[in-house]
Structures are given as C-alpha cells and as structure tokens.
A and B are shown apart, each in its own frame.
Chain A
Amino acid sequence: MIDLTSVLARRSDVRYRHVPPETVLIRQSGPEVILLNGIAGRVLDLIDGRRSLAELVAALADEFEAPRPTLESDVLAFASELHAAAVVEIVPPVRSAP
C-alpha cells in the first residue's frame, strides 16, 4: 500500500529520457515502452529512493501551481500506477545520521 510516507525508487531496469513535451520510459526486462506527460516525467525525476511522497509533493508544489490536495491525490494515483507497472519499488526510508 502506497501512501504519502512511502519512499519509492526507480527499478534498476528502468531508463527514461525527457523528449519535450513528454518523457519516454523504457522498462527493459518487460520489455515495455511508456510515454509520460511532462508532469509525470518530473515526478519520475523526483523518485530518487530518498524522498517520501509527501516530500515529493512539496517539491512539486514549489514548481507547479496546483492545489496541494490535488497534487497529493494525483501523485498517489500515479505512484501506485508506476508500482503496479513494476517501474518503481518501495524502499525503506533513509535514516538520517544521529
């Protein structure tokens, strides 16, 4: 179950390239090619194995003018879709040094 506390990382067989205004994503083990729109491509950039989805939404809110609740629900829906498509995986949160 993915929620705003989840930390996601791109799977190792995933490569992507921004080709404005879209992004091409290739999952080599599938193999599968997926096209993403510009905001979805930006979300992929921000999925780095360190940020929680709440932090990711905060970063997006700085870049895009959209109501926070809308961003949260869109990001959660998209992250779940990427997870179901085996593009991303849930990783343990990175603990900061004491």
Chain B
Amino acid sequence: MPRAPSPPAFAAGTASMPFGELYLANPALLPARLAGEPWGGERLVVDLPGGPFAFSGLTPWQSEALAHRWSGFICTNGEPAAVETLVARVAPEEFCRFDLRGFELTLEAVHSETAVQLVGYETMARLEWRSGGVRGAIWTSAEDPGGFAGAVENYFRALVAYRLAECDAVLLHAAAVVHDGAAYVFCGPSGAGKTTLARLCAASGDVVSSDDLVAVALRADGALALPLPFCGDLRAPQPPAPQPVAALCRLRQAPATAAQRLGPAAGVAALSACAPYLNRDPYRLDALLARLASCVALAPVLELELGRSTLPWDALAARGLAA
C-alpha cells in the first residue's frame, strides 16, 4: 500500500522549553480566566473578517496606537462586536527580560477543548469558548505604543485565525497579489519568498494586499481573498476590496520557475502547513482540515517553484491560470 511522497513538514519550530518558561517569571501564575485589571476605559472595535472584534480596557494612547496600526479597519459607528477581548495590565516583573536583538519572537500556545493559552514577549493571552462563542483576554506590561500594539496584534492574529475557522474561512500564512482582477495567494513559511515575490509584483504594477497573512473566505460560488491589516514589510495604502481567488500557490525557492497543480489531498496537505495556529491545535485541527478540503474544491492549488527575481505569471499561464 504505497503512500505518496510526503510534502515537507511544517516549518514552524517547536518550543525547546516547558510552556511559558522562556517568557514568564512564574508560568504557574498564567491566568486561568478572562479577568484582570484594565489599563483604562476605552473600547475599540475592529472590523476584520470573522468580527467585528472589540478590545476593551484601553487607555486613550493604547486605543490610538491600535487604531493607527489597523487603520482602515476601525469601526466608528458603535457597531456591536462579535468577539470581545479584555486588555489587562500586568506587572513588568511577571515577564522575563532579555535582549531581543537577533531573537525571533514566537507565540507559544497550549490547547484544551475549551481554551487556548498564549504566551509571548511581555504578553499572556487566553481564548475561551463558551456557549456564546469565543472570547479573549490579553495581559501585557508593554508601556510603549509600538511594543503594546505589537503584543496585541500577536494575540489578534491568533484570535482571527480561530474565528475565521468558525466562519467558513481560513487564515493562511501567505502573500496575496491582485493581478488582472483576481487574487493569487502565495503561501509559505517565513523565508519561502512571500515578501520578495510581493515586492516584485508591486514593482510591476500589481496590488499587494498582504505579504504575511491572508484570509480566504469559502463561498458557494468560489473562494474570496479578504483584506487584513496583518502585514510583514509591505502594506497596501488602502485595504483592497475582496477579490475572487484565482489560485493558491505553495511557494518554494528554486533555480527556475515552474508551477505544478496539486491534487485535492496534496492541496490540503500543502495548505495545512501554511495555516498558522490551528495546524498545531489538536482540538481544532479536524475543523481546519474540513475547511481546507472545501477550499481546494473551490480554487486550484499549485506548487510554485520560484526562481530568483522572477514573476510567477508565465508559469501560472502555462497551467491555464493567469493571463
């Protein structure tokens, strides 16, 4: 009973220390419920796919820092939120301090049937599933706008990933490029070439809607790439409109550029390696695989070997997928 060649393993690393010990002075004090001392009385509602998402407990400067970071996605009309998050203060002594130069910040997670706990630099967070859906809290000691907004966004990225999976959508570690009126989603871990490709596409006149995380909604008539403010080095000046997905491509760096269409199972396997947060959650992986199986039925998935400084359109056109 032969098995087909295996795609490479997930690229994300695994924690080499017990959960929380890298970042927390005392991991045993990780909050076990969604409560804490708010920083202030401000509330910000962010309109992303799977939301709107509300953040309460903010000071004015924190609200401003987040609104600036996610500009173009802020609700201003008092819309009700689908997901609530409390932002709470925690003493700086709760966290380990170290020199961040040359250090790749990670977000560690432990999972259970009803909750996910997250720990990162100056950050603890918790997602909880109750009868009314998912809610969350984040505890941070970051007192500078950049550090604070970064800490909250790290949590927010995970929250959006989980929420999308509940809303017939998936979050992919990918760049999305709008070319000739359709979105091409280029998936891959850090170092796969997403940002390099996005820069090349932007330089040739295409619109890059993200170079880091992309939401793909699964609709009856096809897959749709939805804008998110979660970018790496590149960010569109305005959130682009949702675009139909023409193709999902798993990126690999190679000497020459070529595209190969993947079958349904290979497509699910390729996308699962690029679906952050949920692909490591044993309690929610089944739901992710179900969404990805729907996704590959709605849009073609390819393996795209990308040579240096090469645009992908000729290789995709050779597969009948780009003009």
State the A residues within 8 Å of B (CB).
12-13, 15-17, 19-24, 26, 28, 30-37, 39-40, 43, 74-75, 77-78, 81
Contacts of B264 in A (CB 8 A): 19-20, 22
Contacts of A21 in B (CB 8 A): 265
A33 touches B272 (CB 8 A): yes
CB < 8 Å neighbour of A34 from B6, B273, B280: B6
| Chain B residue nearest in CB terms to A29 | B14
Given the interface pairs A13-B282, A28-B280, A34-B6, the reply to whether A22 lies near B1 with Cβ below 8 Å is: no
CB < 8 Å neighbour of A78 from B1, B6, B12: B1
CB < 8 Å neighbour of A28 from B265, B269, B282: B282
Cα of A40 to Cα of B2 in the assembled complex, Å = 8
Contacts of A35 in B (CB 8 A): 3-7, 265-266, 269
Contacts of B269 in A (CB 8 A): 24, 33, 35
B1 touches A24 (CB 8 A): no
B3 touches A40 (CB 8 A): yes
Cα of A19 to Cα of B264 in the assembled complex, Å = 6
Cα of A20 to Cα of B265 in the assembled complex, Å = 7
Contacts of A32 in B (CB 8 A): 6, 9-10
Cα of A19 to Cα of B272 in the assembled complex, Å = 13
A19 touches B265 (CB 8 A): yes
Cα of A36 to Cα of B3 in the assembled complex, Å = 5
List the 6 closest A-B pairs by CB distance, nearest first: A22-B265, A17-B289, A35-B4, A19-B265, A31-B10, A78-B1
B1 touches A17 (CB 8 A): no
Contacts of B1 in A (CB 8 A): 36-37, 39-40, 43, 74-75, 77-78
Given the interface pairs A22-B4, A43-B1, the reply to whether A30 lies near B9 with Cβ below 8 Å is: yes
Cα of A32 to Cα of B280 in the assembled complex, Å = 11
A33 touches B7 (CB 8 A): yes
Contacts of B14 in A (CB 8 A): 31
B272 touches A26 (CB 8 A): yes
Cα of A50 to Cα of B312 in the assembled complex, Å = 50
CB < 8 Å neighbour of A33 from B2, B9, B263: B9
A31 touches B289 (CB 8 A): no
B280 touches A31 (CB 8 A): yes
| Chain A residue nearest in CB terms to B285 | A15
Given the interface pairs A15-B285, A17-B290, the reply to whether A24 lies near B268 with Cβ below 8 Å is: yes
Q: Is B296 an interface residue (CB 8 A)?
A: yes
Q: Is B21 an interface residue (CB 8 A)?
A: no
Q: Is B286 an interface residue (CB 8 A)?
A: yes
Given the interface pairs A39-B1, A43-B1, the reply to whether A28 lies near B9 with Cβ below 8 Å is: no
Contacts of A39 in B (CB 8 A): 1
Sample (25) of A-B pairs whose CB atoms are under 8 Å apart: A12-B282, A15-B282, A17-B289, A19-B268, A19-B293, A22-B4, A22-B263, A22-B264, A24-B265, A24-B268, A26-B272, A26-B279, A28-B279, A30-B9, A32-B10, A33-B7, A33-B269, A34-B3, A34-B6, A35-B265, A37-B1, A39-B1, A43-B1, A74-B1, A75-B1
B289 touches A24 (CB 8 A): yes
B285 touches A28 (CB 8 A): yes
Cα of A23 to Cα of B268 in the assembled complex, Å = 10
A17 touches B268 (CB 8 A): yes
Minimum distance in angstroms from A71 CB to a CB of chain B: 10
Minimum distance in angstroms from B167 CB to a CB of chain A: 20
Given the interface pairs A33-B272, A35-B266, the reply to whether A15 lies near B289 with Cβ below 8 Å is: yes
B289 touches A33 (CB 8 A): no
| Chain B residue nearest in CB terms to A81 | B3
Within 8 A of A (CB), among B271-294: 272-273, 279-280, 282, 285-286, 289-290, 293
